């Protein structure tokens, strides 16, 4: 009943939130007498804050219409490439009238960004997408809100997530020959599983895997998120956070982990920080600091927009990743679309380069959790594995904001470039006759280090290291935050 109670409360609060929005405008419109009152700015700020605390936050849009490529504005057309019951493969198609720019765009690497399905929408990676579009052809997994998926579409399991990723990779391989895969946070685990299974079958695997801030081995440097998952039994999660979607939604009756509960957990991790942020927003409105106020709105429009997760997928993720550690223990078996169980064997990956990235101050995926992928992917030559730690970066800083753009992205860009074949590959062969990528056509890790150094010549010094010694000499960081 908790979900129904929440929706009833939200529906009752909605008119008051709308009224607060109108009242805020009444006290700031210079043509109205109320705006002339001495305390009009304070009253307006109070109503504005009330509106934002009570409003319903819907799914944001990416809103990327153009990107700057070497001084040329390139138009972006966003479209759905594949529409699955629980996910859309979204493409950001680039267009330009400049012939030299167009020629450059055609030869750039293809990147599949696998967004997390852990509470927020894929738009959380908007800055990641916008930055990558300058030098890459970009696709992203846009996961759907489970409460909008009818029961007739069936259940969604962690196995389905892995199978979705494989399908998307094959789709890009069919069109471009091959692609690079970037996974951010939660999807590092299913992406590694997807590529492992493809390798075990003898399929063509992606040119590279970039894994950013994910719980490959959640036993290392456990955070508050890890502790919650390990200290509670499976039955506790099923009895306390799983509810059925109310009748007012297309997915009525579906068992989900509701977004509003997830949001409560997000806020509870740093309540003082959020309270301070809202108070600063109130003061910015009073001072008329519109730039700071708009920055606050943009952040919380994204942060407060959450989606429901299918219960089966959520509970299986808790078991597999945070309690049984099946990936690192070598006991994880995934059911393929034909219903057959297949063992996940990362050691079978041989022709996919591996880059792992961690934030020095990450309080969600602790230090060493992502770098643990190198211990599993022993079949990848050491010269094709690297690890990078971004100094001064928290969890969000490794894929969004200044540190992402100035420090992390140049490393990713250089790594993908040196592991991109010099010639455009032909479309991939059918799965019945797989064709492995030729590792000899890829540059070794030493060239990646040189490329990174060149890419960041104007930025604070960045030192990167091959990941051969990742467990003992993990850190490769900026000397300045």
CATH superfamily of 66-236+309-469: Alpha/Beta hydrolase fold, catalytic domain (3.40.50.1820)
- CA pair distance 6, 265, nearest whole angstrom: 15
Q: What is the mean pLDDT of residues 158-177?
A: 97
Rounded Cα distance, 183 and 100, in Å: 31
Determine contact, residues 60/306, Cβ cutoff 8 Å: no
Q: What is the mean pLDDT of residues 367-380?
A: 96
Q: 279: how many CB neighbours lie within 10 A of its CB?
A: 11
The pLDDT score that the predictor gives to residue 451 is 54
Q: How confident is the model at residue 51 (pLDDT cuts 50, 70, 90)?
A: very high
Q: Hey, what are 397's tokens?
A: 């800083």
Instruction: Provide the percentage of residues in the chain whose pLDDT is more than 70.
Output: 88
Residue 115 or residue 273, greater confidence = 115
**According to the model, what pLDDT value does residue 313 have?**
97
Output the pLDDT for position 391: 93
**Residue whose structure tokens are 């945070």:** 322
pLDDT in tens, 467-478: 433 333 333 333
Q: With a cut of 90, say whether residue 460 has pLDDT above it.
A: no
Whether the CB-CB separation of 419 and 354 falls below 8 Å is answered with: no
pTM above 0.85, yes or no: yes
pLDDT digits (tens, 9 = 90+) for 209-252: 999 999 999 999 988 888 888 888 989 999 999 999 999 999 99
The overall average pLDDT reported for the chain is 88
Provide the sign of the torsion angle of the four alpha carbons 304, 307, 312, 317, taken in this order. Answer: negative
pLDDT of residue 268: 83
Q: What pLDDT score does 35 carry?
A: 86
**Structural tokens at position 381:** 């030559």
Confidence of residue 125 (pLDDT cuts 50, 70, 90): very high
What is the model's pLDDT at position 462?
A: 38
Contact indicator for 409, 135 with CB cutoff of 8 Å: no
- Distance (Å) of CA 25 to CA 31, 51, 67, 88, 291: 11, 11, 33, 38, 18
Q: What pLDDT shows up at residue 398? A: 95
Contact 474, 456 (CB under 8 A): no
374, 427 Cβ separation under 8 angstroms: no
Q: What is the pLDDT of residue 267?
A: 87
Contacts of 273 (CB under 8 A, 6+ apart): none
pLDDT in tens, 395-452: 999 999 999 999 999 999 999 999 998 754 444 444 433 333 333 333 444 555 565 5
Instruction: Return phi, psi of residue 329, to 5°.
Output: -85, -5
Domain boundaries, the chain: 2-56+259-303, 66-236+309-469
Cα end-to-end distance, the chain, whole Å: 47
Q: Is the pLDDT of residue 1 over 70?
A: yes
Residue 264 confidence (pLDDT) above 70:
yes
| C-alpha–C-alpha distance, residues 410 and 404, integer Å | 9
- Give the torsion through C-alpha atoms of 122, 126, 128, 134, to 10 deg: 130
CA distance readout (Å), 113 to 139, 211, 415: 6, 10, 15
Q: Tell me: pLDDT of 100 over 50.
A: yes
Q: Output the pLDDT for position 219.
A: 93
**In the predicted structure, residue 92 carries a pLDDT above the cut 60:** yes
Neighbours of 251 (CB within 10 A): 22
For the chain, what is the HEC assignment? CHHHHHHHHHHHHHHHHHHHHHHHHHCCCCCCHHHHCCCHHHHHHHHHHHHHHHCCCCCCCCCCCEEEECCEEEEEEEEEEEECCCEEEEEEEEECCCHHHHHHHHCCCEEEEECCCCCECHHHHHHHHHHHCCCCEEEEEEECCHHHCCHHHCCCCHHHHHHHHHHHHHHHHHHHCCCEEEEECCCHHHHHHHHHHHHHHCCCCCCEEEEECCCCCCCCCCCHHHHHHHHCCHHHHHHHCCEECCCCCCCCCCEEECHHHHHHHHHHHCHHHHHHHHHHHHHHHHHCCHHHHHHHHHHHHHHCCECCEEHHHHHHHHHHHHHCCHHHHCCCEEECCCCCEEECCHHHCCCCEEEEEEECCCCCCCCCCCCCHHHHCCCCCHHHEEEEEECCCCCHHHCCCHHHHHHHHHHHHHHHHHCCCCCCCCCCCCCCCCCCCCHHHCCCHHHHHHHHHHHCCCCCCECCEEHHHCCCCCCCCECCC
What sign for the dihedral angle of Cα 281, 284, 290, 292? negative
């Amino acid at each position: 009943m908790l979900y129904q109670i929440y929706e009833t409360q939200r529906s009752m609060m909605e008119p008051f939130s709308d009224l607060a929005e109108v009242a805020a405008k009444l006290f700031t419109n210079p043509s109205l007498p109320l705006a002339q009152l001495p305390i009009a700015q304070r009253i307006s700020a109070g109503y504005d804050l009330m509106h934002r605390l009570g409003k319903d936050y819907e799914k944001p849009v990416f809103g990327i219409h153009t990107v700057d490529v070497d001084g040329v504005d390139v138009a972006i057309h966003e479209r759905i490439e594949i529409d699955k019951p629980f996910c859309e493969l979204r493409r950001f198609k680039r267009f330009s009238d400049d012939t030299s720019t167009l020629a450059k765009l055609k030869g750039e690497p293809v990147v599949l960004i696998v967004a997390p399905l852990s509470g927020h929408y894929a738009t959380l990676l908007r800055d990641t997408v916008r930055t990558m579009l300058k030098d890459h052809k970009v696709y992203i997994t846009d996961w759907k809100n489970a409460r909008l998926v009818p029961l007739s579409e069936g259940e969604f399991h962690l196995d389905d997530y892995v199978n979705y990723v494989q399908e998307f990779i094959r789709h890009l391989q069919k069109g471009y020959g091959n692609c690079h895969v970037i996974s951010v946070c939660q999807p590092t685990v299913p992406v590694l599983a997807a590529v492992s299974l493809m390798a075990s079958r003898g399929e063509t695997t992606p040119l590279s895997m970039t894994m950013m801030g994910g719980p490959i081995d959640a036993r290392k440097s456990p955070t508050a998120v890890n502790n919650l998952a390990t200290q509670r039994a499976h039955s506790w999660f099923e009895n306390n956070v799983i509810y059925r979607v109310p009748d007012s939604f297309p997915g009525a009756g579906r068992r989900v982990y509701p977004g509003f509960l997830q949001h409560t957990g997000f806020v509870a991790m740093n309540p003082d920080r959020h309270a301070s942020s809202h108070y600063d927003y109130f003061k910015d409105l009073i001072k008329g600091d519109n730039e700071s106020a708009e920055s606050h709105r943009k952040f919380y429009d994204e942060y407060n927009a959450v989606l429901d997760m299918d219960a089966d997928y959520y509970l299986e993720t808790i078991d597999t990743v945070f309690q049984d550690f099946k990936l690192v223990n070598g006991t994880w078996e995934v059911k393929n679309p034909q219903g057959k169980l297949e063992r996940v064997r990362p050691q079978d990956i041989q022709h996919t380069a591996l880059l792992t990235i961690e934030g020095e101050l990450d309080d969600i995926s602790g230090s060493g959790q992502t770098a643990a992928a190198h211990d599993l992917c022993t079949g990848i030559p050491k010269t094709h594995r690297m690890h990078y730690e971004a100094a001064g970066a928290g969890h969000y800083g490794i894929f969004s904001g200044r540190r992402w753009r100035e420090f992390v992205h140049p490393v990713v860009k250089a790594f993908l470039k040196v592991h991109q074949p010099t010639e455009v590959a032909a479309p991939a062969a059918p799965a019945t006759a797989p064709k492995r990528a030729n590792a000899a056509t890829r540059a070794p890790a030493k060239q990646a280090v040189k490329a990174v150094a060149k890419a960041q010549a104007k930025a604070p010094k960045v030192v990167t290291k091959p990941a051969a010694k990742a467990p003992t000499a993990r850190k490769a960081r900026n000397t300045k935050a």
